[in-house]
Amino acid sequence: MTELPQGKMTLANSPWTGEVELQVQFYDIDPMEVVWHGRYIEYFEAARCALLDKIGYNYGEMKDSGYMWPIIDLQVRYSNPATFRQRIKVRAAIVEWENRLKMEYLVTDAASGQRLTRGVTTQVAVQMEKREMCFLSPPVLWQKLGLPYPEPT
């Protein structure tokens, strides 16, 4: 079973993390010569997929398990701009899983570690057959995380 830290789960202490390193491309840049704000969502997606691959539950496996996981909330906080050809690291971590899949993100300069952007996404499980939202994350997610599924009360 997965060992969970005490207290609030954060990007810094989550046992489930994924990271990608990317180079900012010309098509990512806006007229101000910095990364266009909407591109960061794609960067988050790349790190999220790396994390989901690590736990064996990326979008194909989600679909095969009978669930889709739409994003219902997205928050982004921009601290410093990324620029053309800059190498960046994007890290994702699962911080909640019981009733929703909440992930935190951190975008940093690959060389210096300077924080560029932070973000959070929230996804919920939707049973595909009935198109009904689940109020408790399904057992398959708990299994992929190495956690016991809670007993009904």
CA-based end-to-end distance of the chain: 22
CB 142 within 8 A of CB 96: no
SS3 state at 90:
strand
Query: Helix or strand or coil: residue 51?
Result: helix
Q: Is 62 helix (H, G, I), strand (E, B) or coil?
A: helix
Domains, the chain, with CATH or none: 17-145 (3.10.129.10)
| Chain segment 83-111, per-residue pLDDT in tens | 999 999 999 999 999 999 999 999 999 99
Taking the chain (153 residues) in runs of 10, the rounded mean pLDDT of each run is 82 96 97 96 98 97 97 98 98 97 98 98 97 95 94 72
pLDDT in tens, 64-77: 999 999 999 999 99
Cβ-Cβ contacts under 8 Å for 100 (sequence gap 6 or more): 72, 122, 123, 124, 125, 137
Q: Rounded to an integer, what distance in angstroms lies between the CA atom of residue 122 and that of residue 1?
A: 24
Rounded Cα distance between 104 and 146, Å, is 20
Q: Cα(113)–Cα(147) distance, rounded to whole angstroms?
A: 32
Amino acid 153: pLDDT:
66
